Structure 1
Amino acid sequence: MLETVLPLILFALVSTSTPGIATTLSTASGAQFGFRRSVPLMAGSAAGLASVAAAGAAGLAGLLAAVPSLQLAMKVAGSAYLVWLAFKIGRSGPPNLDVSMAKPNSFFGGASVQWMNPKGWAMGLGAAASFAALADGPLQLALLLGAVFGLAAALSLSLWCVAGTLLARLLKTERQWRALNVVLGLVLAASIVPMWRPA
């Protein structure tokens, strides 16, 4: 069984580890709040990606293709939310001086980012098309993709969060913190651009 699922596991690990919206948020949260306080964000993001992959396998992709206005509404809402998050991250200072980003993002915030994340949908839909032969039907494929992508995202986001906490130990001055937060905010804002590219 492992030999047949191994390509899917590798695909999920590689695709969830590449830089994007969720990894940037996990890194910023780790730097700002530490690993433990970032767990709800990472758990929500992993659960969100699992549900996106499962929904893609179960056929939600067909609904989005049939109702372009729903897809546009998701893009607009997702972009607005991510711009707001990028602004909050970019304006924050060192953890002990920060008032604008006083608490880490929530489980729901992490999950909703994935539902509006084109990279997450591309991963889920690509996996559903590429690995459909591993399951006997849409429901089994949805369960398989949801489990694999959820676990892969939990692992990769944890690693990005740890990188953020290690980076935080290197930052000694308020100026260094502000520079890091501006960079992370700009990276997050730039990650919105692919959402608006024509397919």
Structure 2
Amino acid sequence: MDYIFSLILFAVVSSATPGPNNILVMTSGLNFGIKKSLPVLCGICVGFSFMLLLVGFGFGQVFELFPRLHTLIKISGVLYLLYLAWLISSSRDGFGAKEQSEPLTFLNGALFQWVNAKAWVVATGAIAAFTVSGSEFTTQTLILASTFLVISFPSVGIWLYFGSWLKRYLNNDTYRKWFNLSMSGLLILSILPVIGELLEQFG
């Protein structure tokens, strides 16, 4: 019972705290509303759970054999998220308004996990903390992925609702500009631990 409680608590905290997924969903909710943003929300939640399974069932071993591959993915993810932060902050009308006239799709949300530095940290940390090698490993990995799938919908979804709620208050260009700058700043803050880890690794 303690295992399940700890797992649920970890899933809630890691899913609901500010990070690239939540900022992406919140900004989509602001610009496109809840209904049109549901596909990207589903893509994020399903995509991360699938990522957990892959990390648990093989990617972890691949990274042990080729540690530079994991580092390369982290660097690519950080660079992409910094670009995303710039895109959000420099847009007058919301995330990617100049480049994006339609909301992100389910596939966009799912694929986004593979360049999301926080997602990699949470996935590898969850596998390390909540599974043990042996006969129960497969069952524990399935429980882990299923728990995140269930927990992530309300935890990430609240950010979508909040973004949609803010829409009525951010019609003013100045307010929206400050919102975009704030979201950009939060996005950068969310990947600072990964940047610090990379600097320490190469330092």
Question: In structure 2, do the counterparts of structure 1 residues 100 and 175 end up closer, same or farther at CA, with 3 Å as the change threshold?
Answer: farther
Tell me how many residue pairs correspond in the alignment.
195
Show the 5 A alignment for 1:85-164: 85-94=84-93, 98-132=97-131, 136-164=135-163
Paired with 2:144 and 2:127, the residues of 1 have a C-alpha distance of 7
Deviation, structure 1 residue 4: 5.3
Residue 116 of structure 1 aligns to which amino acid in structure 2?
V
Deviation, structure 1 residue 3: 6.8
Q: Which residue of 2 aligns with 1:62?
A: 61
Q: Tell me, which stretches of 5 or more residues in structure 2 are unaligned?
A: none
Runs of 4 or more above 4 Å deviation? none
Question: In structure 2, do the counterparts of structure 1 residues 103 and 90 end up closer, same or farther at CA, with 3 Å as the change threshold?
Answer: farther
Paired with 1:35 and 1:21, the residues of 2 have a C-alpha distance of 18
2:42 paired with 1:46: no
Deviation, structure 1 residue 68: 2.3
Does the 8 Å contact 1:114/1:120 carry over to 2? yes
Deviation, structure 1 residue 190: 3.7
Q: Deviations over 1:81-105 (max 9, x none)?
A: 323322332233346xx43332222
TM-score (norm 2): 0.82
Percent identity of paired positions between Structure 1 and Structure 2:
29
Deviation, structure 1 residue 154: 1.7
TM-score (norm 1): 0.84
Taking only aligned residues, the RMSD between alpha carbons, in angstroms, comes to 2.4
Q: Mean Cα displacement is larger for which, 186-195 or 175-184?
A: 186-195
Paired with 1:94 and 1:121, the residues of 2 have a C-alpha distance of 30
Q: Deviations over 1:90-121 (max 9, x none)?
A: 233346xx433322222222223322333323
Does the 8 Å contact 2:131/2:141 carry over to 1? no
Give 3-state SS (helix, strand or coil) of 1:103's partner: coil
Residue 45 of structure 1 aligns to which amino acid in structure 2?
I
Q: Mean Cα displacement is larger for which, 168-177 or 86-95?
A: 86-95
Paired with 2:86 and 2:22, the residues of 1 have a C-alpha distance of 17
Deviation, structure 1 residue 158: 0.6
Q: Tell me, which stretches of 5 or more residues in structure 1 are unaligned?
A: none
